[in-house]
Structure formats: C-alpha cells, structure tokens
C-alpha cells in the first residue's frame, strides 16, 4: 500500500518552521520520498491534506502501559487478564493522541508488545523494559511491611511489573532475565520514589557494584540501562557507572547536569505527572505519604529544565502518568512550552526520543527510509502546542508504519 500526501505544510523537526509545497510518498511501512516538487506515483492513493501540517508521530520515552491504578498498590487486586484488558484501552488512547512510539519504563512484557505488533490491539510501537529492577526496600519493592514476599511473580498486576535483586550477581541475573524476556532496555531504580511509601526520596538505591553489573550486562547483550533517579547524588552515581538515560531527575543541579552533558547521557523529565498527581491523585486513592513526596519533587520541575538547557543535556519527552491520569499525556507539551520554545519541545518528542530508543533516521523524522509514522495536524503546532491536547481531536490523520490508525481526510 502506498500513499501520497499532498497539499501540506511539512514540519521536519530539524527545521525551525513548517514549510509549504512539500509532498510525502509512503510505500509499505516506510517513507519512500520527500520532495519540495510534485511527486509522481501511479499506484499511490493520494491524500489531500488541505494545507494542514504533516509531522512525525510523537515519541513518549517514559510511560507505564500496565500501571492502571494511580495508587499503585491497588494493582495487587488486579489479575493479569483484567490488567491487560485495561492496557488495551490505554495503548489505543496513546495512539489516538498521536504517540506512535512509546518507551515503557517498566511493566510491559513481550506478550504485550507481540499483541500490538501482530495487530491484535491498536497501540504505539513499544520499546519495553519488562520488569523494573530495584533493591530490597527500594522504590521497586512494593511488598507491604507485613509481607515476606509474593508466592510467585505473575499472580497479580503488582508483582508482574517489577522484581527485586540484591548484590551484583543477582542484579546481573535479573538484567539477563529481562533481556531473555525481550527487553529493549533495562530499568533500574537508583533513588527513592514518589509512589512507594517506605523509601526516602533522597535514599541512594543500589551500590555502585550493582549498577555497574547491570550496565555491563546490558551492554554485553546490546541493550542499555535507564535509571529512575531524583537527586544529584543518585544521578551522579548512575552516570559514572555508565547508564544511558536518567528518568525524572527533578533535583538535578548544575554540576550534575554538566556531568550528564559530558557523558552524553539523556534526561527524560516528566513534569506533567507531578502536576497531575498534585491535582487529582488524592481522589484516586493515593495516600498522603506519597503526596508529600510528590510536593517535594514538584518544586524542582522548572529548575531541572533550566539546568539541562544551560548544560546542553538532551531532554526527551516523558509523561509517567499512572492510572486514570493517563489522559494528561500531552500535558507535558503545555508545561514545557511555558519555559521552552515550541520547536524544542517538539524535538524532544521526535528527534531526541528517536535517539533515546536508538532509532535515529527511522523514527521521529519525515525522510526517505524512515518508518511511515506520521501525523496530520489541523494547524501549526509551532504556533500552538495546545493542538496536541484533549485526546487528539486536532489530529486529522494518524499513520503508524504506513497504516492509518485514523484518517478523517
């Protein structure tokens, strides 16, 4: 199947503005030709975009497909069947919002990815981490204090999305296990977190030897490590051990940002989740102990963006929204747009996202040889990032791998 997109304004994120007069030809699942002159094709179906903007599909580098409860402990009462039925809707809605690729930062397994790839359920391309890995008592350890440990790792949604490892050998084995299960990257918890009740935010989780073991093993298998980290200490340890991306990173300071820039480490902020939790998580069951930690990290959101921009750290787009808060996935555009130029925010959700998932030239761009993941936007997002809001009504067409998920043209 081949489509010829005409009469459009092309937003190539490498430029600073959308440019008229271009045409784009897709063939199968890839982009075949992009030209400022009319493209000739006898077989392609012509799509008249009515002067709307054509841009690459969006990339969200920090989602949790299976975290369908805001107060995450409630996943204990969700069997995997019900969890997956919920996730089917969550994945479809991500695609409805224009996200044609997401990186799952813990939880999604190869079964979920296979379900999407084989067309059983509509959803974005998934780059999966399988279970996130953390130490006993850390952000990843969701046992109640009264629990000695779960009987198995698949009886409910809570135990399915995470695992515990202690000591370099166990961490190495846990990383191997995730990669055996099809992980595209390996997720480590190296500091305290918001949605876990017992670990202090500023706690430093995993020893240097443990982080190093995971990094070594991920490299050995051709994968990389992403790390949950909030404080300069946790970020510094992780970066010095060779991790490739820092997740959240709210409390980063100027020296730590410079270290990240020097080592070429990416930051994936997700300011929207703290903002959304502040407003809505209490009514959705999140306890005060977590909300207090949320207030703490929320304070540092804008300074994080500032430190990273000043130091030259590349930032990708993340959201990290739990449960019903998922509907704010594009809210990150609004928040970052308050302090950054629109083109920079769009680059974070296209070009930089593609770098993070190691798909430069294949995702996040409109160029020959790239996957045909494209959006037709009713307006110019560079002038109004609000066009991405509200679940996708301003996205006239959504194309993933050369197939229309939506086509209102």
Cβ proximity to other proteins, 84 vs 305, nearer residue:
84
Cα–Cα–Cα angle for 251, 132, 122, nearest 5°? 105
- Do 385 and 333 meet the contact criterion of CB atoms below 8 Å apart? yes
Cβ proximity to other proteins, 95 vs 376, nearer residue:
95
Q: How far is the CB of 164 from other proteins (least distance, A)?
A: 17
Q: How far is the CB of 155 from other proteins (least distance, A)?
A: 5
Q: How far is the CB of 51 from other proteins (least distance, A)?
A: 33
First to last CA, the chain: 17
Cβ proximity to other proteins, 5 vs 127, nearer residue:
127
Q: How far is the CB of 390 from other proteins (least distance, A)?
A: 22
Which residues contribute to the site for other proteins (CB under 8 A)?
Answer: 78-89, 109-112, 114-115, 120-121, 151-155
Cβ proximity to other proteins, 153 vs 409, nearer residue:
153
Cβ proximity to other proteins, 32 vs 113, nearer residue:
113
Cβ proximity to other proteins, 65 vs 203, nearer residue:
65
Pick the closest to residue 336 from 324, 362, 352, 318 (CA basis).
Answer: 318
- Cα torsion 314, 361, 214, 297: sign: positive
8-state DSSP, 195: S
Concatenated DSSP letters for 13-31?
TTSSS-EEEEEEEEETTEE
Q: How far is the CB of 62 from other proteins (least distance, A)?
A: 20
Q: How far is the CB of 358 from other proteins (least distance, A)?
A: 24
Q: Which residues contact 73 (CB under 8 A, 6 or more apart)?
A: 142, 144, 158
250 SS3 class: coil
């Amino acid at each position: 199947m081949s489509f010829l997109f005409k009469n459009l304004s092309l937003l190539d994120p490498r430029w600073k503005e959308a440019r008229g007069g271009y045409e784009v030809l897709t063939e199968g699942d890839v982009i075949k030709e992009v030209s400022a002159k009319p493209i000739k094709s006898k077989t392609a179906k012509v799509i008249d975009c009515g002067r709307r903007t054509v841009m690459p599909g969006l990339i969200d580098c920090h989602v949790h497909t299976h975290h369908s409860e805001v107060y995450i402990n409630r996943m204990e009462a969700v069997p995997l069947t019900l969890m997956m039925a919920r996730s089917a809707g969550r994945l479809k809605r991500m695609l409805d919002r224009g996200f044609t690729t997401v990186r799952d930062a813990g939880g999604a397994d190869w079964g979920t990815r296979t379900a999407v790839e084989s067309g059983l359920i509509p959803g974005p391309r998934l780059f999966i981490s399988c279970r996130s890995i953390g130490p006993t008592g850390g952000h990843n350890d969701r046992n109640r204090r009264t629990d000695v440990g779960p009987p198995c790792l698949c009886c409910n949604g809570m135990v399915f999305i995470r695992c515990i490892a202690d000591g370099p050998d166990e961490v190495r084995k846990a990383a191997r296990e995730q990669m055996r299960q099809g992980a595209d990257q390996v997720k480590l918890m190296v500091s305290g977190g918001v949605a876990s009740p017992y670990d202090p935010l500023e706690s430093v989780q995993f020893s240097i030897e443990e982080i190093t073991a995971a990094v070594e093993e991920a490299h050995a298998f051709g994968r990389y490590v992403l790390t949950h980290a909030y404080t300069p200490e946790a970020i510094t340890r992780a970066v010095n051990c060779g991790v490739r991306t820092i997740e959240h990173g709210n409390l980063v300071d100027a020296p730590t940002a410079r270290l990240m820039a020097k080592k070429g480490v990416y930051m994936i902020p997700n300011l929207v989740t703290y903002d959304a939790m502040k407003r809505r998580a209490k009514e959705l069951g999140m306890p005060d102990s977590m909300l207090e930690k949320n207030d703490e990290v929320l304070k540092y959101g804008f300074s994080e963006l500032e430190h990273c921009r000043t130091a030259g750290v590349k930032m990708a787009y993340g959201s990290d929204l739990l449960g019903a808060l998922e509907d704010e996935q594009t809210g990150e555009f609004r928040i970052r747009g308050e302090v950054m130029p629109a083109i920079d925010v769009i680059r974070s959700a296209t070009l930089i996202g593609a770098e993070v998932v190691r798909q430069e030239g294949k995702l996040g761009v409109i160029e020959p040889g790239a996957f045909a993941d494209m959006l037709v936007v009713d307006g110019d997002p560079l002038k109004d990032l609000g066009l991405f809001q509200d679940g996708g009504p301003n996205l006239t067409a959504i194309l993933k791998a050369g197939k229309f998920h939506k086509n209102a043209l």
